[in-house]
Amino acid sequence: MRLLVFFVAMLALAGTCAAQSSLPACETGPKVRKVFHEKLSSTDLNKLKFVDRVARQHEVLNDLIARYPLEWEPYQRLINFVRFEEPDQFPALQQRFREQAAQHPDDPLALSLAGVVLTGTDTTEGIRLLKEAHAKAPTFAWPDLKLAEIYSSGKRASKENSAEYLRSFLSACPAAADRSEERRVG
C-alpha cells in the first residue's frame, strides 16, 4: 500500500516537473518545515510502535511530495528513512526513482533523485545521473552536494572533485555555509 501511494506521488511529480521549469530551492519552504515540526517530530514518532511510525513517515512524506513536488527535503527524508529503517523496501524505492529518471531524462530533479537513491548500491550509475543533472541545470545545488559527498571519502575520494562540487553547491546556496558555521559556533 505504501509503495502504491508513493507511486501515485511520483506520477504527480512527473506531471509537475514536466509542466514547471523551476527546481527545488536551497531552503525548505516554511509550509513544509511546519509539517515536519507538527507531524514528524522525533518526540511524537518515538512514542509510536515501529509499524505506526513507518506508516506515519510514509503518509506525511508522500503527502508532502504530492503537494510540494519541488521541495527537496521530503524526497531526501523519504530516501533516508527507507534506506535505514526499511532496507527491504529500498530496492523498490530505487526502482521507482530509476524509472522516473528514465521516463524524464531531461528533468534534473528526476535525475538527481535517482542518482541519490542509487548511491551506495550502484554508485557508478548514481554519479552518472548526478553529473547529468548538474550538466542540465548547473545552478541546481542538490546534485553538487551529493557529488561532493561521494568524492569526499572512500574508493572514489578526490579532494579536487569534492572541493569543486562543494564550491558549486555553496555558490548556489551561500547561506548553507553560514548555517554550517552557526552550528559549529553555537
- pLDDT value at position 172? 93
- pLDDT value at position 64? 98
Q: Rounded distance, CA 166 to CA 172, Å?
A: 10
- pLDDT value at position 177? 77
- pLDDT value at position 179? 55
- pLDDT value at position 176? 86
- pLDDT value at position 182? 37
How does residue 181 score in pLDDT terms, banded at 50, 70 and 90?
Answer: very low
The candidate with the shortest Cα–Cα distance to 141, out of 168, 117, 116, is 168
pLDDT, one tens digit per residue, over 42-79 is 998 999 999 999 999 999 999 999 999 999 999 999 99
pLDDT at 111 over 80: yes
- pLDDT value at position 22? 83
- pLDDT value at position 7? 37
Taking the complete model, does pTM exceed 0.85, yes or no? no
Q: Rounded distance, CA 169 to CA 148, Å?
A: 8
pLDDT, one tens digit per residue, over 7-45 is 334 434 443 333 334 899 999 999 999 999 999 999 989
Percent of the chain whose pLDDT exceeds 90:
80
- pLDDT value at position 112? 98
For residue 119, give Cα distances in angstroms to 80, 85, 113, 138, 178: 12, 17, 10, 20, 27
pLDDT at 114 over 50: yes
Q: Rounded distance, CA 34 to CA 94, Å?
A: 28
